[in-house]
Amino acid sequence: MRSISGWTVVALAGVAFGPASAQVDLGPPQPVRVVPAQLQPRPPGYTQVYPAQPYAPQPLTGFAAYKVRLAALARQAGVREATIQAYVPSVNLSTRAMQLDRSQPTGNVNSPYISPFAPYRARHVTASLINRGQARYYAHWTTLRQVEARYGVDPAVAMAIYGHETSYGQVTGNFDLLEALASLAYEGRRRAFFEAEFVAALKLIDGGIARSRLRGSYAGATGYPQFMPSVALRLRADGDGDGYANIWTNEADALASIGNYLRDAGWKRGLPWGVAVRTPSGLNRAAIRSTLNTPRCPAVFRRHSRWLTMREWRALGVAPYGRTLPEAEMATLIEPDGPSATAYLLTSNYRTILDYNCSNFYALSVGLLADAIARR
């Protein structure tokens, strides 16, 4: 038996097996049968070895491919490569964040129905929020006065936003920010916005904020003031003078950061957010309807009247219940519960609260909670 080019050759010659002899007659030549090697019996323990095939990597698809884009965006924005490599590949898709985002009511902006403010107010201007806000208001009075001096912002409004956003730090959210932001960006409804916030969150890590601290709402808001990462990068402030702006566990820093935010949004020092008023039965609402067409939150601003001075409102029979505004101050009217209920004259400072959260019910409840906290 011999091997020829991978084949086993078995010579079947006519060999006479008998007594040993000095010479053996082999007879005429016999045919040679060639048997393929793969058909031969294998010895015990034999393992077939196949030739190695060249490896062809499979293209990335879905969320895995999208993370490559997120890494590229972060790189373009100057995020350190070490941060990108440490955090982007391991980000998981948060289906829960996407479900919550899809479940948010969008409302019908063309519907004539407008829900009343009173039920919302009952849920967000509660005795608990007022009492706990007052306790913190006096406990942090020194810090709040410094916030007012530095930023010009009403300290009670800063406290009310803190209370409205997180119930004074009790409810800050437990979503991993990188996962929530990456998932909402991947979902695509507001891709550019959430991509930018994802990159900003990586920049916070670059700046020394621990990944474990970056937790918050499903939409990416974080810390006591519920800042988006880009806002935290730009506007968080040191409120206690220790040289570090910690909006996650430090109330003084959180309140200073809220003050800094409102000043940046255009807060006017010494001006109330608004005042409660009664409207006369004969008020011509068509004559005071606003004709402004705002690109941002049009449904919110559609509920506001034309801007008139306090003197002009008085001439129309609109009268404050308690404190008032300077006669030359411009204000707009909102009637959140309809013509027969309490209305409010709103100043430009009300619009800075809308900048925090563009909702009339949110801004009104913040203003009313602030007034209750300060016992106005």
pLDDT at site 54: 56
Take residue 74 and report the two structure tokens written for it.
């972060």
User: For residues 68 and 74, what is the distance between their CA atoms, to the nearest angstrom?
Assistant: 10
Predicted local distance difference test score (pLDDT) of residue 58? 56
Residue 7 has pLDDT above 60, yes or no: no
**Amino acid 16: pLDDT:** 38
| Model pLDDT, residue 24 | 38
Q: What is the mean pLDDT of the chain?
A: 88
Over residues 217-234, the mean pLDDT reads: 98
Query: What is the mean pLDDT of the segment spanning 223-233?
Result: 98
> Above pLDDT 70, what percent of the chain?
82
Mean pLDDT of 159-174: 98
Average pLDDT over residues 359-370: 98
3-state secondary structure string, the chain? CEEECCEEEEECCCCCCCCCCCCCCCCCCCCEEEEEHHHCCCCCCCCCCCCCCCCCCCCCCHHHHHHHHHHHHHHHCCCCHHHHHHHCCCCCCCHHHHHHHHCCCCCCCCCCCCCCCHHHHHHHCCHHHHHHHHHHHHHCHHHHHHHHHHHCCCHHHHHHHHHHHHCCCCCCCCEEHHHHHHHHHHHCCCHHHHHHHHHHHHHHHHCCCCHHHCEECCCCCECCCCECHHHHHHHCCCCCCCCCCCCCCCHHHHHHHHHHHHHHCCCCCCCCCEEEEECCCCCCCCCCECCCCCCCCHHHHCCCECCEEHHHHHHCCCEECCCCCCCCCEEEEECCCCCCCCEEEECHHHHHHHHHCCCHHHHHHHHHHHHHHCCC
Name residues whose C-beta falls within 8 Å of residue 297's C-beta, 6 or more positions apart in sequence: 354, 358
Residue 60's pLDDT band (boundaries 50, 70, 90)? low
Contact 228, 235 (CB under 8 A): no
Model pTM?
0.82
Q: Each residue of 63-108: pLDDT tens digit? A: 999 999 999 999 999 999 999 999 999 999 999 999 999 998 765 5
